[in-house]
Amino acid sequence: MTLEILTADCLTPLRHGFFTRKGGASSGVFSGLNCGLGSSDQSEAVLINRARVATAMNVAPTHLCGVHQVHSADVHICDGPSDPPARADAIVTATPGLALAILTADCQPVLFADHEAGVVAAAHAGWKGAMDGVLEATLDAMETLGASRENTVAAIGPSISQAAYEVGPEFFEDFMAQDPALSRFFAGGEGDRMQFDLPSYGLHLLRSAGIGHAEYTNFCTYSDPDRFYSYRRSVHNKEADYGRLISCIRL
């Protein structure tokens, strides 16, 4: 099966993509293009999947560069493959020939580019990383390599949508403690539950940080099981594990 790669006009002509689960070698609950070596999937299948992604990005598998994601605001500046990968949730480079990769399964994958300066980045932004500043930290790191945030563009890939993201009162209160104006990213749910709009929150953070352009691809991971993995859906379905989607960009 052919890989399905979603792209964003603002990142063109750079080679990039938000890969769906289609076209992979994994089976069972991981069926498709599971690229998570940290999952309980067969490592041989994951390596085949990652090699297919590397081919699509026109790099060797060794040059598909990721990070050990820990829901932080830490950024790794990459000038070549590293083993083991750095503990961080964003990765930035000005080095041609490296494909920067982020894994997600409901959290926001965000791809960045300053076309003029030749600097790209990829970030993993769940609610915690976003609240702690991973998106702003990514822009800061890009600037150290010569990028200008006014010339930088970013696209948020497939993420969990507000309709599928139910949260409790403690979650809401954490946001209100940071800024009561963030209440606009919440809608009422059943009882004391609320619905959180993660992609709109990500766009707000990027635009508030002074980025030149930011957009959302408008795909929900939770509601489209044929195309996307979803951590929250796997929990609701009482599945033992879940696949990880990959998103990549390169110069």
Q: Is the pLDDT score of 61 beyond 80?
A: yes
Q: What is the pLDDT of residues 222-249, one digit of tens each?
A: 999 999 999 999 999 999 999 999 999 9
Cis peptide before 13 (omega within 30 of 0): yes
Has residue 102 got a pLDDT over 80? yes
Residue 170 inside a domain? The answer is no
Is residue 29 included in any domain, yes or no? yes
Which residue spans within 116-159 are E strands per DSSP?
119-125, 153-156
Cβ pair 182, 201 in contact under 8 A: yes
Q: Please give the sequence-ordered ranges of beta strands (E in DSSP) within the chain, or none if there are none.
A: 5-6, 16-19, 64-65, 75-77, 90-93, 99-104, 108-114, 119-125, 153-156, 166-167, 186-188, 194-196, 213-216, 245-250
Length of the chain: 251
Kindly state whether residue 180 falls inside one of the protein's structural domains: no
Q: Which of 6, 58, 9, 47 has the alpha carbon at shortest distance from 25?
A: 47
**What's the average model confidence in pLDDT over 147-161?**
98
Cα–Cα dist 237/243, whole Å: 14
Total domains in the chain come to 1
Q: How would residue 83 be classed by pLDDT, with cut points 50, 70 and 90?
A: confident
The range of the structural domain enclosing residue 240 comes to 5-161+197-250
Residue, of 2 and 189, whose pLDDT is higher:
2
What percentage of the chain carries pLDDT values higher than 70? 100
CB-CB neighbours of 140 under 10 Å: 15
The model's pTM: 0.97
Q: Is residue 167 part of a domain?
A: no
Cα(55)–Cα(174) distance, rounded to whole angstroms?
A: 42
What is the CATH classification number for the domain harbouring 36? 3.60.140.10
**Does residue 185 lie in a domain region?**
no
155 falls in which pLDDT band (50, 70, 90)? very high
Give the per-residue pLDDT at 10: 98
Q: Which residue has the higher pLDDT, 38 or 1?
A: 38
Residue 184 inside a domain? The answer is no
- pLDDT one-digit tens code per residue, 117-149: 999 999 999 999 999 999 999 999 999 999 999
As a whole number, mean pLDDT of residues 42-71 equals: 97
The band of 194, judged by pLDDT with boundaries at 50, 70 and 90, is: very high
Mean pLDDT of 157-177: 96
d(Cα 110, Cα 25) in Å, to the nearest integer? 25
Residue 1 in this model has a pLDDT that exceeds 80: no
Domain-located, residue 232: yes
Q: What pLDDT sits at residue 177?
A: 96
Average pLDDT score, the chain = 97
